Chains A and B, each alone.
Chain A
Amino acid sequence: MIKPLSLELYKIFKRPRTYISFGLVTAIALVIQLAMCSGGKEFLSFGMQGITEQFAIQGNVLNGYLVAYIILQSLLIHIPLLIALVAGDSIAGEANMGTLRLVLTKPISRSRLVIIKFTASIIYSLLLIIWLAVVALFLSLFLFGKGDMINMKSDTFILLLQDDIMWRYFCAFAFASLAMTTIVSLSLLLSAFAENSIGPIMATMAIVVVLTILSNLELPLFNLIKPYLFTTHMIGWKGFFDDPVPYKAIRNSALVLSFYTLGLLLMTIIYFNKKDIKS
């Protein structure tokens, strides 16, 4: 298991496109940090208008914790697309290059091959999340300093004390990793269907974008299906920045995401075992 997995990881990290994701995450984080440095106060005063009309808020509001939250809010929609770049390519890319049949001539079952590719993609997505933590959280803390964190929901203003924040970030990153696992299994399934990598990457992007829109539209028709969409639960990491933390809802979201992950992985294994591999 270790040798094929390390071989799979070697394949992933040998490709230059893998590093596009790390570069892109860094670039977006830096752009947001730069924007916050120059015009963060105006941005905040616009967002906090409803509160500052009635309350005077003083202190280092624009601190590293808040900037990291803004980066995560903007990036965690895009990260699935970056993960699809690798996971969507893992089976279809080999089919396209004609190496899939060669791989399957080795004494390794198809199910095992899918699990290895799944595990390798998860390791990649974990590294991406860790990198995100480094550039979004730790770099923001370095640039903007520590402080209490404000979290503005549509109908609630939350203030979190600075000693009570770091653990929330660790939990949020752990939850985000779980959410990304669902994306990996979706991408892998689509990759098993396709013969070239563009199709599954684009299809994953399309599914995530459409479902994210459905998850955020406040229309009665969509409210019925929202609880069943994985994109509704992918933002469960935000729950850790609520007070009190809605553990029950987060656990429910984690279960839905795990169900999707296992279901999609199982479908991939079943389909891949029956697939007629011609290249």
Chain B
Amino acid sequence: MKTLKIFLLLTAIFICPNFALAKNADELFNELRQKILQVKDYVAEVNLKIDVAYMKVPLLKGKLYFKAPDLMKLERNGGISILPKKNINLTLSNLIPTGKVTVIDMGTTLYKAKSLRLIKVVPDDEKSSIVLTKIWIDEQNLLVIHAETTTYEEGSLIMDLEYNHFVNYSLPDKVKIFMDLKDYKLPQGLTMDYNDGNKKQENIKKTLKQKGTIEINYKNYVINKGISTNFFKG
């Protein structure tokens, strides 16, 4: 009898807290959204690496300014900045649908050898550009580790996120974005290209690779200090 009591006590200690911590999908999503939305604006030093078949862009270093919900500007000390022009841009706050949503619990799953909670989020608003977002969540730290978003008009967008210094704000140190891209072509009679003999090879590369990858490394975040909306104009 004593043994049974000890067994029940141990069960209560080790199992019950897990039940208590396991939130339902709606709660989890709402908590996650609240955590992400606490960042109203930020400035961070970034290294931006663009890997798109038809673009040859060197590593861009600069300051990335963000203001919720969707204002973003990369400033490069007088240089040209390039950012993807998607309705869903490079931030999580844009990736996670706002307003009323339906959250579907997909249970726990292994992602990169890590046990994560997978939820599917479908916006109830028919006007939303997002069809569906699948989010892989580190439940313990309340962080999005991986997200896949399908849109009506702009294909799909996949994000891989790595955190280190700003876990409390859900701000990543490194983001890798995989996105669908349209083709780019200008008439050769207009550009009068110099043929360097690599045309055939490039065309093969292009047909094989229709997705683009953008990698951003963030450091030195300055969070919620206030940025004027006018700053993002022009």
Chain A residues within 8 Å of B, Cβ to Cβ: 47, 50-61, 73, 146-148, 150, 152-162, 164, 216, 218, 226, 232, 235-239, 242-243, 246, 248-250
Interface of B is mostly: loop
Residues from chain B with a CB closer than 8 A to the CB of A239 are 194, 196
B181-A159 in contact (CB<8A)? no
Chain B residues within 8 Å of A, Cβ to Cβ: 54-58, 73-74, 76, 78-86, 181-198, 202-203, 206
User: In the bound complex, what is the Cα–Cα distance between A158 and B50 (angstroms)?
Assistant: 12
Can you list 5 contacts pairing A with B, beta carbon distance less than 8 Å? A52-B85, A150-B80, A154-B186, A157-B57, A250-B196
B182-A53 in contact (CB<8A)? yes
User: In the bound complex, what is the Cα–Cα distance between A242 and B190 (angstroms)?
Assistant: 17
B195-A154 in contact (CB<8A)? no
B85-A53 in contact (CB<8A)? yes
Given A146-B78, A154-B185, A249-B197, answer yes or no on A55-B191 (Cβ-Cβ < 8 Å): no
Closest 8 CB pairs of A and B: A246-B196, A249-B196, A59-B80, A238-B194, A148-B80, A154-B188, A50-B184, A159-B57
Residues from chain B with a CB closer than 8 A to the CB of A53 are 85, 182
A152-B186 in contact (CB<8A)? yes
7 extra interface residue pairs, beta carbon distance < 8 Å, beyond A238-B193, A249-B194: A55-B84, A155-B186, A162-B79, A238-B192, A242-B196, A243-B56, A250-B196
User: In the bound complex, what is the Cα–Cα distance between A156 and B52 (angstroms)?
Assistant: 10
Residues from chain A with a CB closer than 8 A to the CB of B76 are 59, 148
User: In the bound complex, what is the Cα–Cα distance between A156 and B186 (angstroms)?
Assistant: 9
Q: Which of A47, A60, A73, A159 contacts B78 (CB 8 A)?
A: A60
Q: Which of B74, B188, B206 has the most chain A CB atoms closer than 10 A to its own CB?
A: B188
Q: Which of B56, B195, B203 has the most chain A CB atoms closer than 10 A to its own CB?
A: B195
User: In the bound complex, what is the Cα–Cα distance between A137 and B182 (angstroms)?
Assistant: 34
B185-A155 in contact (CB<8A)? yes
B82-A56 in contact (CB<8A)? yes
- Interchain nearest-CB distance for B197 vs A (Å): 5
A246-B82 in contact (CB<8A)? no
